[in-house]
Structure 1
Amino acid sequence: MRPPTWTACPRTTRTRARADMTPDRHRAAVLVLTNTYDVTADVVLRILSDRRVPVVRVDLGVDLLEGASLTAYYRTGEQRGALRTSSRELDLTRVRSVWVRRPSAYEAPPGLNEHTAKFASAQAFWGSGGVIASLPRAHYVNHPWHIRNAEYKPAQLTVASRTGFLVPNTVITTDPGEARRFCTDQPGRAVYKPLWDSRYRTEDGAAQTVWVREVDPAEIIDAVSVCPHMFQAKVGKAFDVRVTAVGDRLFGVRIDSPDLDWRHRQDLMTCAPIEVPDSVARAITAYLAELRLTFGAFDFAVTASGDWYFLECNPKGQWAWQPAETTAAIAHAIADQLERGPDS
């Protein structure tokens, strides 16, 4: 059993750190939902530890299978509950903030048959997930329901168009003919992007990442009809930009990479801070407000003429890979959000 910690300490291995300080039970805690190996979370938790803010870090998809328990009571005018482990107890009415980072999926305990396991994992998702998403007076970064809504690519494109971003011509289709026609009509050619970051498994079971890549219309076969595919006009970019938004604070980084998809070979890219134009900043603020997000990692393709084209916004995006000063600034901004709680 790995009990959740009240604060975080620096890690040198992939084991959960333990804090030495005694939790301040007179102050509401920050609840951090993430997996054991999330070193990005450690950057923020070290700051909260220095500020002596009580923190509970837990991975419910794993910890609830290893002895932890979650209980919630509801009655007219009252809601209460507790998260208990072998060594900790968190009063769910005294959670100031919830940081939904990278928690494991809810799974069933080992040893169950297939049908019982599916039932148990579904009950865990809707039960435990619903309890954590409904804590009274807690501030969420981001709320899990808002994360889910904001992860749909069609929703991102719809909101981006409505809030003032430049959006590349895009089609999402199950019609091979429509896909071919769209790609043929794009003067600067077209690219394919997966609608979700799913790992594609080959016949031998190996998982492969599907990167953004240029598409020749002649490559598009009738198998497009198996599921929706997204094709997008290729932006003639001079460079990429990642803007990490935390509340009303924006942190822009220019990315120069030899690849169409800079994530493919990150060892070849270079990054440097960049100012975010006012028009883009206003669109980001409007986008976050419409999707009810506190945090968002925005990706843009910037042309030689200075046009910023919206590509996507990840409501749980990684950010600790950026230049040290940018990473530190983002970490402090997130810590500020979590420490202030629901009045932020």
Structure 2
Amino acid sequence: MLVSTGHEDPTADLVIAELNRRRVPVLRFDPGRDFPGAAVLAARTRQGGWSGTLSMGSRTAELHAVRALYHRRPSMFEPADEGQDARFAVQENRRGLGGVLGALPGCLYLSHPQAIARAEYKPAQLATALGLGLLVPETLITNDPAQAEEFCDQWPAIYKPLHAGAYWVNGEPAGIWAARVGPGEIDDAVERSAHLFQAAVPKVADVRAVVVGNQTFCARITAPPGVLDWRAEYRDLRYEPTDCPTDVRSALAAFVQDFGLKFGAFDFAVTADGAWWFLECNPNGQWAWLEEAAGLPITAAIADVLENGECPT
């Protein structure tokens, strides 16, 4: 079994420890840091798919025998310098190693890298959620200040980024959280990029729903009054396991199937009448802290999928 993730990934560590406990052989590597270098690829075409080896030091995986690949959060391929040769090498590494790993015969992917990449686009997420009957807040994506001002005048609105990428402030990593925005705060800076504005849901709580194979685990998250984005207040949150409404569970199963995923971390806003409003899906989202906080056996469920192909029913 292969685990593709960063050198420091406590979430993947939990799954690897569980697989080790089950005596499932695991080769862990980080494509962006280990290849080329510590990781050595020798792949050959054969009838039925790729054969050959991927090695890390003294450990070697036979490509044709890889039963599963856990694609967590590997480092991106980065050029060694600004030169043309370095940029060329990065693309060759990505399409060579990445291409082989994405075409292993008979391999179960949790999830396939290309499926994860497609599912990261929020416009596709929102359109799919609407098509599946989920409640979705009124949303505008624009680079037109006039449209943004009109939207924020029509609704109590929030702004949030379309991608949770790395952002640095004074040399330190920082998150860009969802924030309330009024029409008077809109200016010409909106023209510089696409912006996502959304009608604010009058929520009383949030839910993170984690889909693993054919199972769904839900934690209700209660933040202090007035907190819009619970991720900004981890120290003051309360967690409890909660049941997933049948219609929402069915929609989530269809959602991951539509995107070709085996895993998805979904965020919902819950209103006083018990309605669940879809906000987004992170196809490789975090979940480890919920195991202890809400008593959700997600590690075992992921190990079940990787070892057996599906969660037990």
Map of 1:252 onto structure 2:
218
Q: What is the match of residue 263 of structure 1?
A: 231
C-alpha separation in 2, matches of 1:134 and 1:52? 25
2:158 counterpart (191, 195, 201): 191
Match of 2:289 in 1: 321
Could you give the per-residue CA deviations for residues 135-193 of structure 1, whole angstroms, max 9, x where no partner exists?
1100000000000000001011011101121000000011111111111111xx00001
Task: Quote the Cα distance in structure 2 between the aligned partners of 1:313 and 1:113.
Answer: 35
Give the Cα separation in 1 of the matches to 2:192 and 2:9.
35
Deviations, residues 58-107 of structure 1 (Å, cap 9, x unaligned): 11211124332112212565531210233122110000010001111112
Of 263-272 and 317-326, deviating more is 317-326
1:277-316 equivalence runs, <5 A = 277-316=245-284
Match of 1:4 in 2: none
- For 1:114-263, list aligned pairs within 5 A: 114-186=83-155, 189-201=156-168, 206-258=172-224, 259-263=227-231
Stretches of 4+ moved more than 4 A in 1?
75-78, 204-207, 325-328
Scaled by the length of structure 2, what TM-score is found? 0.94
Q: Determine the C-alpha separation between the residues in 2 that align with 1:115 and 1:205.
A: 28
**Normalising by structure 1, what TM-score?**
0.86
Report 1:11-22 matches (<5 A): none
- Count how many residue pairs are aligned between Structure 1 and Structure 2: 310
Q: 1:281 to 1:126 in 2, by over 3 A?
A: same
The AA in structure 1 aligned to 2:67 is R
Q: Distance in 1 between matches of 2:145 and 2:255?
A: 32
| Per-residue deviation, residues 226-255 of structure 1 (Å, max 9, x unmatched) | 110000000000100001111111111000
Listed as ranges, the gaps of 5+ residues in structure 1 are 1-29
* 1:272/1:323 contact within 8 Å kept: no
Distance 1:200 1:32, change over 3 A: closer
Distance 1:119 1:253, change over 3 A: same
Q: In 1, are the aligned partners of 2:29 and 2:56 still within 8 Å (CA)?
A: no
Residue in structure 1 matched with residue 67 of structure 2 by the alignment: 96
Mapped contact 1:153–1:195 kept (Cα < 8 A): yes
Runs of at least 5 residues in structure 2 that lack an aligned partner in the other structure: none
Q: Which amino acid is 2:231 matched to? A: R
Counterpart CA distance in 2 for 1:272 and 1:261 is: 18
> Which shifted more, 236-245 or 48-57?
48-57
What CA distance in whole angstroms lies between the structure 2 residues aligned with 1:327 and 1:87?
Answer: 38
Identity score, percent: 45
